[in-house]
Amino acid sequence: MAEVRPAEEERVHAIVDGGRAANVFTSLSAVPLIGGVCDVAKKILDDVREYEGNAEDAAEAGRCVLDVLDFLLVLTRREDALPEKREDKVREAMEDLELLLGDFKAAVQEFGTRGFFKRAWNLRKYNVGTLSRIDGMIRDKLDFLANLYGLARDARVVQHSPRVMPYKLEAVLLKYVDERHDSDEKALQDAATVGGVHPEETRAALAALDYSQDQSPPLLEEKNYSRLKELIFLLKRAVERGDAAAVRLAGKTVSEVMAKTCLLTIYRKCLVVQLLAASFADDAKTIGALLERAPEIIHEMLSDVGGAALALSALHISAMRGNIDAVKKLKNMNGDFTIPDACKRTPLHHAAARGHAKVISYFLLHCGVDVNAKDRDDWTALMCASHEGFLNVVERLVEIGYADVNSGRLNDHANF
């Protein structure tokens, strides 16, 4: 890593090397339930020492961690304020806090990756706000702990309550997500100046402006593109076989491509892979998190990625799996369950063909689906359920959805 700029040196040492951290760790070392939190905090501060010269946001992350430790120190000195019956909730909150700090650590480590600013600039649409978002979640968890201790209004606790740090680089990148600017080069240089980005990283990002996000992947991205195609083939086969382990593997492995690519087109397809995997697994929490970042991918299908294709959206996959939690989450995130797949089959067709009566009822009562919609072979959902022998689904389609028993055309029908 390049040497820290002299103007920042004093500030950085004050954050992580001024004795404040050592004193807090010494005081907290004997406190029950906090060991895991302290371990992660130490690792984050080690990363801050190493990466702070690359961007000012890294130093701000160090401040956040020290504020968290200070707050916990004040809180745990008031153990007498904790009712015994709430100890389990405190333990759970500390475990959640440790996980959040783990995510925070991963975000800080991005500053140690060569080309991080190039990636941050190109992928700002989906990547901005990571530190501030996790910072806010950490603050919410600490507020929860203060309430458990009954100290939410305690003057000393309030005084030491962590505040969300001003992550300047994230803020300026967010500014350029939608704002039009005359020159990418000038906007990038402005962002680098505001965020205190190291000159080497700025030069690398400027050099990368030569290629367009909309063009075919340049030579340096060919490996990422090939790996993405392999994972889409894996996901397609796994979905067809109902292989949950292989779907999880595809969803997990695609994060490796996301960590390497600088192209928005590849990154977006990776997000779709993760969304489809989460829908298959009925993981409503992950579905929500992904769609908060990229709401426009909710209906997206992997129809053509260099020959690899999975012409199903998250809505179709959640329906075919009968995953009611995923279906509800997708509905709440503005999912349209009338949109057909490449074979003109709606999610209602997929749920009916597999006998998912509970999902069928939800579609009919809450999703405004067309119960008589026909696929490319002129089959309705009612015909699919009848063909497969799902009498309970047939009853719901007729009694709740008033399906037309004469609609559709009986002919050869491709398998689902």
Q: Domain map of the chain by residue range?
A: 6-178, 211-335, 337-416
Task: For 55-110, write each residue's pLDDT tens digit.
Answer: 999 999 998 898 898 888 887 776 665 566 677 888 899 999 999 999 999 999 99
CA 93 to CA 143: how far, in whole Å?
10
Task: For 140-174, write each residue's pLDDT tens digit.
Answer: 998 888 888 776 556 565 565 666 678 999 999 98
CA-closest candidate to residue 197, choices 259, 123, 101, 114: 114
Task: For 226-277, write each residue's pLDDT tens digit.
Answer: 999 999 999 999 999 999 999 999 999 999 999 888 888 899 999 999 999 9
Residue 32 vs residue 135, higher pLDDT:
135
Confidence band of 15 (pLDDT split at 50, 70, 90):
low
Q: Is the pTM of this model over 0.75?
A: yes
Q: Are 189 and 206 in contact (CB under 8 A)?
A: yes
Confidence band of 7 (pLDDT split at 50, 70, 90):
very low
pLDDT computed for residue 331 by the predictor: 97
Which tokens in the block code for residue 137? 């979640």
Contacts of 345 (CB under 8 A, 6+ apart): 316, 375, 416
- Mean pLDDT for the chain? 85
At what angle are helices 56-76 and 87-109 packed, to 10 degrees?
Answer: 170
- Third-level CATH fold of 337-416: 1.25.40
CA-closest candidate to residue 276, choices 306, 304, 254, 258: 254
CA 235 to CA 256: how far, in whole Å?
15
Q: Is residue 12 classed exposed, middle or buried when 0-12, 13-18 and 19+ CB atoms within 10 A define those classes?
A: buried
Confidence band of 2 (pLDDT split at 50, 70, 90):
very low
CA 96 to CA 80: how far, in whole Å?
23
Q: Are 115 and 262 in contact (CB under 8 A)?
A: yes
Q: Are strands 308-310 and 302-305 parallel, antiparallel or unpaired?
A: antiparallel
Confidence band of 416 (pLDDT split at 50, 70, 90):
low
Q: Are 299 and 224 in contact (CB under 8 A)?
A: no
